[in-house]
Amino acid sequence: MASSIGPIQRRLSREEIAALYVRTGALVLRRCRFLLRDEAEAEDVLQEVFVRVMRYGGPASEEGRIELAFLYRTAERCCFDRMKKRSREPLQDPDSAVEIAVHTAERSEAAQLVLRFFERLSPKLQQVALLHHLDGLPQERIAEELSWSRRTIGKKLKQIDQQAQRLAVQWKERKK
Amino acid sequence: MNHPPAFDLDRFAAKDLDPAETSRVQGHLQECPKCQQALAGIEDERKAMISRLSPPQFAALVDVRASLSDRRAWGRPLVIWSLAGAGVAAALLAVVLLAPWADHQDQARWMGSAPTVRIYLNRNGSTMTLTQEHLQIGDRLRYEVTLPPGKKGYAALVAVEATNVFPVLTGSNQADPIRVSDTSLLPGSVAVESGSEPTLLCLIFRPEPYSMNDLIREVGQARLEKKLDSMPGLIHQLLVEAGPQ
């Protein structure tokens, strides 16, 4: 993993924001789309993330570039806040979940199931589900990323799989 | 085949990997059409995003939002149109002018050789560029005008309701337009409130100074003669009207 030189703790210029947008904007937007299932909201969160970075900076690589992981975590926090606020709204059809732009990279059946019902997972499990089933990270890296123990990650992943299977059964019953 | 985690492909696309990691992913990509396809997908999305909103435009928008979130509380209203008619069932919209914000001078940016206009919409504390959004009561709008480098001129926003014309955004003494150069965020904002008539917001820009009284007379006349669209200096129109219930 690229090592950080330490955070950039100053207001970024427009040029820096423009360059960061070119390098990472589409990736952050894609993540927001997946979480929010709404193009306009996703674009709004994208801007919100960049506003925060512009004002406060963030962790940077050796080349002095803001790291993608930091942008993802910031975007996820914004998205989770919005998802929480709208938790009383009717949930969308889970079959539309993986049609939202995500990688076409290989995914296991278990991962596809979790992503399909991601919106219905409890908020505490969504972060881990995101890193494991969307980003494909192994437990060790998730533990490092979230500063949790590997054991905790393992337990969460088990809960995620169980919850996803339960949701799949409930959805099937509902569709009958 | 051992694929790298999707996150590492993302980081590769973002040029976020160190040289050793980059080399590893590159090696895998040479042999893996699926990951090549995933990467191509990211590139397509990047191009689509940039074609919708260019990097300088995005950066300017972010800068404005960052400044807006630093602003202080609103001032009191300066002008209110009390146009609510009796028994109006639909949520028709008129405009209310609020106290000017602190002036925001941007670095020079230009897009082409004609003035361009960007409108920022603030809704419930979130700011975005106004595109196809339906306006809602409570929304607030700010206008930004961008001129070719080195160019200067005078801008004003007027509201047209039926046959009435009102000044909305003007210079500080309200008798003159706003002096603009390069990229200027016009001082003051427009709030959308309930009313009984659709309102046409017309942004006029001219290289030479003019008086607001003359402009209002000219706009009123152009409206009567149905020649508003061809009025000199009219660079933007925005119709504010009832939305679906």
Task: Enter the ipTM.
Answer: 0.82
* Predicted pLDDT of residue B90: 31
In this structure, of A9-23, A142-156, B94-108, B202-216, the range with the lowest mean pLDDT score is B94-108
| Mean pLDDT confidence for A47-51 | 91
Least confident of A118-132, A159-173, B64-78, B106-120: B64-78
User: Does A103 sit within 8 Å of B41, measured CB to CB?
Assistant: yes
Using the beta-carbon criterion (under 8 Å), do A51 and B3 form an inter-chain contact? no
Burial of B123 (0-12, 13-18, 19+ CB in 10 A): middle
Is A37 strand, coil or helix?
Answer: coil
Q: Whose CA is closest to A134, among A40, A52, A34, A38?
A: A34
Chain B residues in contact with A25 (beta carbon < 8 A): 46, 49-50, 58
Neighbours of B100 (CB within 10 A): 14
What is the distance in angstroms between the Cα of B199 and the nearest Cα belonging to chain A? 25
Task: Please answer whether residues B189 and B142 qualify as being in contact, where contact means their C-beta atoms are separated by less than 8 angstroms.
Answer: yes
Pick from B9, B14, B50: CB nearest A103: B9
Reported as a pLDDT band with limits 50, 70 and 90, residue A87 is low
Angle at A82 between CA A78 and CA A164, to 5 degrees: 100
Residues in CB range of A166: below 8 A, 6 or more apart: none
DSSP B125-175: TEEEE-SSPPP-TT-EEEEEEE-STT-EEEEEEEEEETTEEEEEE--TTSS
Give pLDDT, residue B240. Answer: 79
Residues of chain B with confidence (pLDDT) below 70: 1, 67-113, 131-134, 195-196, 241-245
Give the tokens for residue A55: 């004002």
pLDDT of B96: 34
Q: Which helix (H) or strand (E) holds A6?
A: strand A4-8
Find the mean pLDDT for residues A58-87.
84
CB pair distance less than 8 Å for B69 and A3 = no
| Cross-chain residue pair B62–A54, CB shorter than 8 Å | yes
Q: Which helix (H) or strand (E) holds B214?
A: helix B212-224
Q: What percent of chain A has pLDDT over 70?
A: 81
Question: Residue A25: closest CA among chain B residues belongs to which residue?
Answer: B46
- Which site among B7, B50, B61 would you substitute to test the A interface, given the most A Cβ atoms closer than 10 Å to its Cβ? B7
- Residues in Cβ contact with B187 at an 8 Å cutoff, skipping those fewer than 6 apart: B100, B101, B103, B169, B172, B178
Please report the pLDDT score of residue A111 as a whole number: 80
More confident residue, A141 or A6: A141
User: For residue B122, which of B101, B107, B147 has the smallest C-alpha distance?
Assistant: B101
Q: Mean pLDDT over residues A46-62, rounded?
A: 85
Whether residue B45 and residue A30 make contact (CB cut-off 8 A), yes or no, is: yes
pLDDT, residue B134, reads: 67
Instruction: Kindly report the average pLDDT of chain A as a whole number.
Output: 81
Q: What angle do CA B129, B135, B140 make, to 5 degrees?
A: 65
Q: What is the mean pLDDT of residues A98-125?
A: 69
Within an 8 Å CB–CB cutoff, is residue A38 touching chain B? no
pLDDT at A157: 93
The 10 Å Cβ neighbour count of residue B92 is: 20
Residue A141 has pLDDT above 50, yes or no: yes
Sequence-distant (≥ 6) Cβ neighbours of residue B105 within 8 angstroms: B184, B185
The reported pLDDT for the residue numbered A18 is 94
Min Cα–Cα distance to chain B from A151, Å: 21
pLDDT of residue B131: 67
Q: What percent of chain A has pLDDT over 90?
A: 32
- The residue with tokens 């980059």 is B22
Write down the pTM of the prediction: 0.57
Amino acid at A161: D
Q: What is the pLDDT, as a whole number, of residue B112?
A: 46
Q: Sign of the CA dihedral B188, B191, B196, B199? A: positive
Largest CA-CA distance found in chain B, in angstroms, rounded: 75
**Nearest C-alpha of chain B: how many angstroms from A2?**
5
Q: Is the pLDDT of residue A84 over 70?
A: yes
